[in-house]
């Protein structure tokens, strides 16, 4: 037991969790904590909007595999975090968000929380449906244990965001602090080990499958199961499609990789997954964007579903073999069970079909003329390192990036999948760059998204965090325009953003580098310059406003019915 | 577990502390689960509460309810109770008009038949406390309607499995 203030205890507890970076903005209800941070070893990245602090923590977590930490003051600071927290929740990203709160008791000893004090917001009530859990310690002495519990919950089982709301008097009060390791939860014990009987059933199905297909999701990345996935796929000669969130868990130049499945999935994934006789779905949740019409999804397949969150099993699709377990341990168990007895199959016809469909996709791109986003992303991919980190905004830029920026390693493609948050990619890139300062971090952006969080150019310049923002600029809310073009008879309602801003001048106004490019050659040159730069670079790439993202499965359709824009 | 759509009784042992009911009811709202009744009270250990929830739905919905409840960190144990092997009780307070002596004695007689108690007497009304399963309480209320039911307060169902089966947290956990 050591006597200290709650604020000091918080910082000590963070150090014990090896949290060495905080993305945040101070405010009245956090001053005691910031006073301790003033001379602590913890790096603080001062953001310009709390939403960006949460997204940066999220980007940091996804790039590093560690828990990301953000901090915001009470009231509006806390509510500004909400989008970022919801985003982390939907994509199962482990972040801990600390918020200031008004005093539990005010000077006249009447209870203060709940009295609508200055900058008070019920952030516990607000974030309950979008967090894995949230805490509001009422005494200073609770703070070390709360931090321990928050990190434990955020990072174990199915990861997710946790909010810790800190009333100001708990920060200033002094108490005996217990920095032990005990964590007690009667109602939280994630199950990691797969049940041997379920593994047996799944192995038998896979052993006898003629056309086995694997769909791998974000869970494969968060459990670090990429090599187990590849080993099993190679053993079974089973092609692997990934969900959007799973991008990176299977190298996309692997012969068995089909690429992404779903609304804007590849031709190969969308045509072949429905043909499977046995489908192994791992660390994924059959989201509507992945399955299309769920009632017609893989009608002929026996489905094995592995997920650590039992509530995902049977939620959207009822599997034949449910396995509640950690993806890594389950895939390893399946591999170990199959490796001795499995008679390797040739599947040469099946493999030929994969190659044919991949070629169809390549031809689709080859037929496009001019400075088209697919072409420029394919060429860009060739000049950046294999482990460069790509983040994206949301909309056409995101789907082009998902389709054409081949991803080779886990944690190198970071995007807002579940919530679809425009403005996510840039602050996420800041977090990723802090986590991985030695690799280039590139935000594939659209003009509509980037403008939503571009004020944090200031944080990158002042904080010395050089990232690259590639603005595919069509002066449009391009994805909505695409839907209006395809499904609403070209009635372009409220999607034309006009010319402003001038992104080069915008970048320069913040002390960043701005480059406008007019050709593929100029683009590649600009990216090379940007990779060497020690300030953030914004590259403005004007593109045609009528560009569509293809392939596309019309909403609610079957995944095999793709529009290719021919 | 019953196979067909119908009424299911879910029993949950939860942390007995502020905010837990909010987390649970918020989850029901968010996931669009319709709950028929919910009752909460202290369980066999002081720091635990037992929550009894009745739901109309099909098996898959109820399975999701159980899984989503289990996912909540404050929820320690959840079970679906088998109606054939469960004691269910509800308590109702029924305020009935008794304009004259005849009505008054009729209501008192009926209450006795239903093993109820008259718990409040006024000049022109009685409050009857009645306990039992939902069907019994419904039948009593029907019987009271001709007299004029002024107010009803029902607790909702609480339930325990019979005999050896239990929904409880083992000591030492």
Q: What is the pLDDT of residue A532?
A: 97
**Nearest-CA distance from B78 to chain A in Å?**
10
Pairwise CA distance, residues A147 & A9, whole Å: 10
**Cβ contact (<8 Å) for B71 and A185?**
no
Band (A566; pLDDT cuts 50, 70, 90): low
CA–CA separation, B18 and B47 (whole Å): 11
Name every chain B residue with its beta carbon within 8 A of the beta carbon of A133. 73
Tell me if domain B6-81 and domain B87-158 are identical in fold.
yes
pLDDT tens figures, A381-429: 999 999 999 999 999 999 999 999 999 999 999 999 999 999 999 999 9
Residues in CB range of A6: below 8 A, 6 or more apart: A32, A137, A140, A143, A166, A170, A171, A172, A173, A174, A175
d(CA B117, CA B126): 10
Of chain A, the percentage scoring pLDDT greater than 90 comes to 86
Closest by Cβ to B76, choosing from A124, A128, A186: A186
Spell out which residues of chain A touch residue B22, defining contact as CB-CB under 8 Å. 125, 128
Distance in angstroms (rounded) separating the CA atoms of residues A524 and A537: 13
Give the pLDDT score at B2: 41
Give the distance, in angstroms, between the CA of residue B3 and the centroid of all CA atoms in the same chain.
Answer: 22
- The per-residue pLDDT for range A318-356, each reduced to its tens digit, is 999 999 999 999 999 999 999 988 888 888 888 899 999
Q: Closest chain B residue to A127 measured between Cα atoms?
A: B23
Interface contact B64-A133, CB threshold 8 A? no
- CATH architecture for the domain at B87-158: 2-Layer Sandwich (3.30)
Which residue of chain A comes nearest to B171, CA vs CA?
A: A186
Give the mutation candidate from B18, B47, B71, B171 for the A interface (greatest A CB count, under 10 A): B71
Which two structure tokens, joined as six digits, stand for A33?
């904590």
Nearest CA in chain B to A324: B67
Residue B112 has pLDDT above 50, yes or no: yes
Q: Say whether pLDDT at A232 is over 50.
A: yes
**Is A187 close to B74, i.e. CB distance below 8 A?**
yes
Instruction: Output b/e per residue, B41-79; b: 16+ Cβ within 10 A.
Output: eebeeeebbbbbbbbebeeebbbbbbbbbbbbbbbbbbb
Paired tokens of B171? 């000591």
As assigned by CATH, the class of the B6-81 domain is alpha beta
Q: How far apart are CA A407 and CA A248, in angstroms?
A: 5
Mean pLDDT of B114-131: 96
pLDDT > 70? residue A108: no
Q: What is the pLDDT of residues A164-197, one digit of tens each?
A: 999 999 999 999 999 998 888 899 999 999 999 9
Q: Do B73 and A185 touch (CB under 8 A)?
A: yes
Question: Is the preceding peptide bond at A499 cis, omega within 30 degrees of 0?
Answer: no
Residue length of chain A: 566
In the predicted model, what is the mean pLDDT of residues B89-112? 96
CA distances from A401 to A264, A411, A487 (A): 11, 15, 23
Instruction: Reply yes or no on whether the pLDDT at A61 is more than 50.
Output: yes
Residue-wise pLDDT for B31-48, tens only, equals 999 888 999 999 999 999
Q: How many helices (H) and strands (E) does chain A have?
A: 22, 20
Query: Structural domain boundaries of chain B?
Result: 6-81, 87-158
In the three-class reduction of DSSP (H, G, I as helix; E, B as strand; rest coil), residue A560 is classed as: coil
Report the 10 Å Cβ neighbour count for B119.
12
* Closest Cα in chain B to A187: B76
Question: Average of pLDDT values for B71-77?
Answer: 96
What pLDDT is attached to residue A442?
98
Q: How many CA atoms lie within 13 A of B4 on its CB side?
A: 2
Tell me which chain A residues have a C-beta less than 8 angstroms from the C-beta of B15.
186-187
CA distance B74 to chain A (A): 6
pLDDT at residue B99 greater than cutoff 90: yes
According to the model, what pLDDT value does residue A371 have? 78
> CA A398 to CA A482: how far, in whole Å?
14
pLDDT tens, residue by residue, A438-452: 999 999 999 999 999
Token duo for residue A397: 């830029």
Chain B residues in contact with A153 (beta carbon < 8 A): 73
Tokens 């987390």 sit at which residue? Answer: B23
**Exposed / middle / buried, residue A91 (Cβ in 10 Å: 0-12, 13-18, 19+):** buried
Min Cα distance A320 → chain B (Å) is 14
pLDDT of A364 reads 80
Total length of chain B: 173
CB A286 within 8 A of CB A294: yes
Determine whether the interchain pair A311/B71 forms a contact, defined as Cβ–Cβ distance below 8 Å: yes
Q: Which residues of A are catalytic?
A: 50, 118-119, 168, 479
Q: Residue B12 phi/psi, 5° resolution?
A: -130, 135
- Which residue from B22, B68, B173 is facing A186, i.e. has the nearest CB? B173
DSSP state of A105: B
Distance CA A379, CA A521 (A): 10
Nearest by Cα to B113 from B149, B148, B143: B143
**pLDDT band with cut points at 50, 70 and 90 for residue A295:** confident
DSSP per-residue string spanning A458-505? HHHHHHT---EEEEEE-SB-HHHHHHHHHHSTT---S-B--S---HHH
Closest-CA residue to A151 (of A170, A138, A136, A132): A132
Tokens of residue A220, six digits:
């494969």
In chain A the domains, ranked by start, together with CATH numbers, are 2-177 (3.40.50.970), 196-353 (3.40.50.1220), 373-542 (3.40.50.970)
> Omega before A501 cis (within 30°)?
yes
Q: What is the DSSP letter of B58?
A: -
Tell me, what's the pLDDT at A450? 98
A316 and chain B: CB distance < 8 Å anywhere? no
Contact A55, A22 (CB under 8 A): no
In Å, how far is A161's CA from the nearest CA of chain B? 13
Cβ pair A250, A240 in contact under 8 A: yes
Residues of B with CB below 8 A from A191's CB?
none
CA dist A344 and B37 (Å) reads: 56
pLDDT digits (tens, 9 = 90+) for A245-282: 999 999 999 999 999 999 999 999 999 999 999 999 99
Note the pLDDT of residue A106: 64
Nearest by CB to residue B76, choosing from A187, A309, A315, is A187
Give pTM, 2 decimals: 0.94
Q: How close does chain B come to A309, measured CA to CA in Å? A: 8
Where does A91-238 have alpha helices with state H? 123-127, 143-155, 168-172, 196-207, 218-222, 226-236
Q: How confident is the model at residue B4 (pLDDT cuts 50, 70, 90)?
A: low
């Amino acid at each position: 037991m050591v006597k200290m203030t709650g604020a000091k205890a918080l910082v000590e507890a963070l150090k014990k969790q090896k949290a060495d970076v905080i993305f945040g903005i101070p405010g009245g209800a956090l001053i005691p904590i910031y006073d301790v941070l003033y001379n602590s070893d913890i790096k603080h990245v001062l953001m310009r909007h709390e939403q960006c602090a949460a997204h940066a923590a999220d980007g940091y977590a996804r790039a590093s595999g560690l828990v990301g930490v953000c901090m915001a003051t009470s009231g509006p600071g806390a509510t500004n975090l909400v989008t970022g927290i919801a985003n982390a929740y939907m994509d199962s990203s482990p972040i801990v968000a600390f918020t200031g709160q008004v005093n539990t008791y005010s000077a006249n000893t009447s209870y203060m929380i709940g009295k609508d004090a200055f900058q008070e917001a019920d952030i516990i009530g607000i974030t309950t449906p979008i967090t894995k859990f949230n805490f509001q310690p009422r005494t200073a002495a609770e703070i070390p244990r709360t931090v321990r519990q928050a990190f434990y919950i955020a990072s174990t089982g199915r990861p997710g965001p946790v909010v810790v709301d800190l009333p100001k008097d708990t920060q200033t009060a002094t108490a005996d602090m217990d920095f032990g390791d005990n964590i007690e939860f009667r109602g939280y014990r994630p199950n990691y080990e797969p049940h041997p009987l379920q593994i047996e059933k799944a192995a038998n199905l896979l052993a006898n499958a003629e056309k086995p297909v694997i769909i791998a999701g974000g869970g494969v990345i968060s459990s670090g199961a990429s090599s187990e996935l590849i080993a099993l796929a190679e053993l079974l000669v089973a092609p692997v499609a990934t969900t959007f969130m799973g991008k990176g868990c299977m190298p996309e130049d692997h012969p068995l990789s089909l690429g992404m499945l779903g609304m804007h999935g590849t031709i190969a994934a969308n045509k072949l997954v429905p043909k499977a006789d046995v489908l192994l779905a791992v660390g994924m949740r059959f989201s509507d964007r992945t399955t299309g019409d769920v009632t017609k999804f893989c009608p002929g397949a026996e489905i094995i579903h592995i997920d650590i969150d039992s509530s995902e099993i049977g939620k959207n699709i009822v599997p034949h073999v449910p396995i509640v377990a950690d993806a890594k341990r389950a895939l390893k168990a399946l591999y170990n069970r199959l490796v001795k007895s499995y008679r390797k199959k040739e599947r040469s016809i099946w493999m030929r079909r994969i190659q044919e469909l991949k070629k169809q996709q390549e031809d689709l791109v080859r037929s496009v003329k001019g400075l088209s986003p697919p072409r420029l992303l394919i060429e860009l991919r060739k000049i950046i390192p294999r482990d460069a980190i790509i983040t994206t905004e949301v909309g056409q830029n995101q789907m082009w990036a998902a389709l054409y920026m081949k991803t080779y390693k886990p944690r190198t493609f970071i995007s807002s999948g579940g919530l679809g948050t425009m403005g996510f990619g840039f602050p996420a890139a800041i977090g990723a760059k802090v986590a991985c300062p030695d690799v280039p971090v590139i935000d594939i952006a659209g003009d509509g998204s980037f403008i939503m969080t571009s004020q944090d150019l200031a944080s990158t310049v002042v904080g010395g965090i050089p990232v690259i923002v590639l603005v595919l600029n069509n002066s449009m809310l391009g994805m909505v325009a695409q839907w209006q073009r395809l499904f609403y008879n070209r009635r372009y309602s409220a999607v034309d953003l006009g010319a402003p801003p001038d992104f080069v001048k915008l970048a320069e106004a913040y002390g960043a580098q701005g480059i406008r490019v007019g050709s593929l050659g100029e683009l590649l040159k600009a990216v090379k310059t940007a990779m060497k730069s020690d300030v953030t670079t914004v590259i403005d790439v004007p593109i045609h406003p009528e560009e569509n993202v293809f392939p596309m499965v019309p909403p609610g359709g079957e995944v095999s019915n793709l529009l290719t824009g021919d | 577990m019953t196979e067909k759509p119908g009424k299911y009784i879910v029993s949950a042992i939860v942390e007995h502390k502020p905010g837990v009911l909010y987390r649970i009811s918020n989850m029901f709202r968010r996931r669009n689960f319709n709950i028929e009744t919910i009752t909460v009270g202290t369980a066999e250990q002081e720091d635990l509460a037992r929550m009894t929830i009745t739901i109309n739905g099909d098996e898959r919905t109820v399975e999701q309810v159980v899984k989503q409840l289990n996912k909540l960190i404050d929820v320690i144990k959840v079970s679906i109770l088998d109606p054939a092997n469960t004691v269910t009780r509800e308590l109702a307070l029924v305020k009935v008009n008794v304009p004259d002596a005849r009505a008054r004695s009729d209501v008192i007689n009926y209450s006795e038949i239903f093993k109820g108690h008259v718990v409040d007497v006024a000049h022109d009304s009685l409050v009857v406390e009645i306990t039992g399963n939902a069907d019994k309480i419904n039948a009593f209320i029907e019987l009271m309607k001709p007299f004029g039911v002024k107010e009803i307060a029902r607790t909702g169902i609480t339930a325990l499995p019979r005999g050896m089966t239990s929904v409880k947290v083992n000591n030492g956990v």
